[in-house]
Chain A
């Protein structure tokens, strides 16, 4: 076991190494991979954003929300309506969606001030169920186009970013969406990190651990819960905007807009590691990878899996995905990041600086 002092040269080298590895992957994917692979990474980005936003509310603050699919949908619809009806340039719809979702999120937070646990879960569940119904509502058809949804809202021509060079056609669009998605992921991550590593973030965890004690320490439960719900909704809506720009379509039963979306966000967050900054990022990658690998299983009838699942009318993809996720949860109850931390501690231990003002920099 290697012991490294916090802030020492070796500690910095490890950090730099981490950054280099991540940067290498980030550059390698859009330059070396096929456009369908690149698209899968963008899908993972979308899930990462939604799961990171859910993580703020659920992982760090302990407030259960199954309503995040609605915030996701609000983002997608805000973008689609602004682009289609008002001729907005797609880039600006991120800001508008964030503002709209922030306000809605603050309102949805109001029940969380009085109820908690399973009761809060039920209220947010209602929000998730209500949203697609509301969008389909006849009287709102002038805005949302009912069940048909809104289509062709993607970028007509990919904007030219000098640093990316010239991007043309389908491949060019995939590459562009990758970089756009990456930017939103980084922004979301930085927002979450800023929050978590601050006095406000400590207040969130304090609320999760013991609400009464948090209030006695001076934490205003009302404003803290309302604000964190609002900002979480705003971040989640960015995922919705990205998803709509990528597919060019949004419908009331589109991907992640229904209740199922909330469940997937929950799954991604928990598989990666709830209450950790990197959990949703790892979770998003693993989920999309598993989803795309299992999807092909059983489609050709050769091999062991074909023999096992050949009898089924439908592809057993969902079943296998579910089983694999259950196994992951069993092996890593604190998520993959939790598992990695535990194993990593057996190899390298970062020894923290002694506390107190005398030892501080």
Chain B
């Protein structure tokens, strides 16, 4: 038994020393079927630590499905997803925040009755530990509240929303709420940020601004970003790597320039050339 334990230990340590080369996220052969429809068909790709990876493709290509697999809303029928060498599919939906994965939603999934500050404070849920019993007994609750409130306030200030901190989220302009989603996601101190069409519904100038925000927070918070986006100019401008999809399959992968000039990608977007 001692021998076995020792062997396991060595394997562990080998893995640890290698982890610098292990990609942050590795998706391999993921297939998702909804009834008879194949939404993802053996999709594989990986994202390196610190990269911004753009996931593009026409409507119905399976981008959001991929996204929901990584954020543990869908279970894939086949394939594996690993995050920092750990099997992500073994983690429950509420567990991914604790691993350092945060996401934003395409059509906004904010808490409308809460103020912006409270929204961001919920985003920091994984950064706290006070459960119901400690809340009732008031053990450490006040100190934790102060810490999370300050941290959330700082995030609002950084995203230029500090002056709206005490305003309920419901009814604010779309662009403001999109930024609130980013602030809320950052509150979890993620290593990996998934953004589902952050530019959708924004005006042109807002989209440019958003691209800068993504680049800035990547630097400030040491993030790796998976960006699902229709807005081609923004994806091409800020991504280190782009993965193009069509009908649930990967059709191209590489630098923005490589993907942009790939005939298969051009065909997918403009229709096949005769």
Name A's B-contacting residues (CB within 8 A).
191, 194-195, 197-203, 205-206, 208-210, 212-221, 227-228, 231, 275, 352, 354-357, 359-361
Residues of A with C-beta under 8 A to B129: 199
For residue A113, give the distance in angstroms from its CB to the closest CB of chain B: 13
Report the minimum CB–CB distance from B159 to chain A (whole Å). 12
Interface 9-residue window, one of B52-60, B91-99, B226-234: B91-99
Q: Which of A194, A209, A217, A357 is B136 in contact with, Cβ under 8 Å?
A: A194
Q: Which residue in B111, B137, B146, B156 is a CB contact (below 8 Å) of A206?
A: B111
Question: Which A residues lie within 8 Å of B138 (CB)?
Answer: 194
Q: Which of B103, B126, B132 contacts A228 (CB 8 A)?
A: B132
Hey, which chain B residues are within 8 Å of A208, CB to CB?
113
Are the C-beta atoms of A354 and B162 separated by less than 8 Å?
Answer: yes
8 pairs across A/B with beta carbons < 8 Å? A205-B111, A205-B114, A209-B112, A210-B111, A215-B94, A216-B103, A355-B154, A357-B150
Are B122 and A217 in contact, CB atoms less than 8 angstroms apart?
Answer: yes
Q: Are A210 and B93 in contact (CB under 8 A)?
A: no
Residue of B nearest to A227 (CB): B132
A221-B94, A355-B165, A356-B150 known; A209 vs B132 contact (CB < 8 Å): no
Least Cβ distance of B148 to chain A in Å?
7
Shortest CB-to-CB span from B74 to chain A, Å, is 12
Is B97 a contact partner of A194 (Cβ separation < 8 A)? no
- B residues within 8 A CB of A357? 150-151, 153-154
Chain A neighbourhood of B40, CB < 8 A: none
Instruction: Answer yes or no: B125 CB below 8 A from chain A CBs.
Output: yes
Q: Say whether A199 contacts B111, CB under 8 Å.
A: no
Tell me what chain B mostly uses at the interface: helix, strand, loop, or mixed: helix
A201 to B165, CA, bound (A): 19
Contacts of A210 on B, CB cut-off 8 Å?
109-112
Q: Taking the complex as formed, is B157 at the interface, i.e. its CB lies under 8 A from any CB of chain A?
A: yes
A218–B126 touching, CB < 8 Å: yes
Give min CB distance, B151 to chain A, whole Å.
Answer: 7
Interface size class of B (residues with CB under 8 A): 35 or more
Partner of B130, one of A199, A214, A275, A352: A199
Q: Which A residue's beta carbon lies closest to that of B156?
A: A355
B113 touches A209 (CB 8 A): yes
- In contact, B121 and A202 (Cβ under 8 angstroms): yes
Minimum distance in angstroms from A59 CB to a CB of chain B: 11
- Chain B 10-69 interface residues, beta-carbon cutoff 8 Å to A: none
Q: Quick check: A213 and B111 within 8 Å, CB to CB? A: yes
Q: With the chains together, A195 CA to B132 CA distance in Å?
A: 6
A194 touches which of B92, B113, B118, B141 (Cβ 8 Å): B141
Q: With A202-B118, A210-B111, A215-B94 known to touch, is A356 a contact of B125 (CB < 8 Å)?
A: no
Say whether B224 faces chain A, with CB atoms less than 8 Å apart: no
Taking a contact as CB atoms under 8 Å apart, the answer to whether B94 and A202 are in contact is no
Known A191-B136, A217-B122, A352-B166: A360·B103 in contact at CB below 8 Å: no
Interface flag for B145 (CB, 8 Å): yes
Contact assessment for A214 and B157 in the assembled complex, using a CB-CB cutoff below 8 Å:
no
B188 within 8 A of A: yes
- Within 8 Å CB of B105, what residues of A? 213
Looking at the assembled complex, report how far the CB atom of B265 sits from the nearest CB atom of chain A, in whole angstroms: 30
Q: Nearest chain B CB to A300's CB is how many angstroms away?
A: 47
Q: Tell me the smallest distance from the CB of A88 to a CB of chain B, in Å.
A: 24
Given contacts A217-B122, A355-B153, contact A197 B162 (CB under 8 A): no
B71 at the interface (CB under 8 A from A): yes
Which residues of A have CB within 8 Å of B93? 215-216
- Asked if B125 and A218 make an inter-chain contact with CB atoms under 8 angstroms apart, the answer reads yes
Cβ-defined contact, A220 with B152, below 8 A:
no
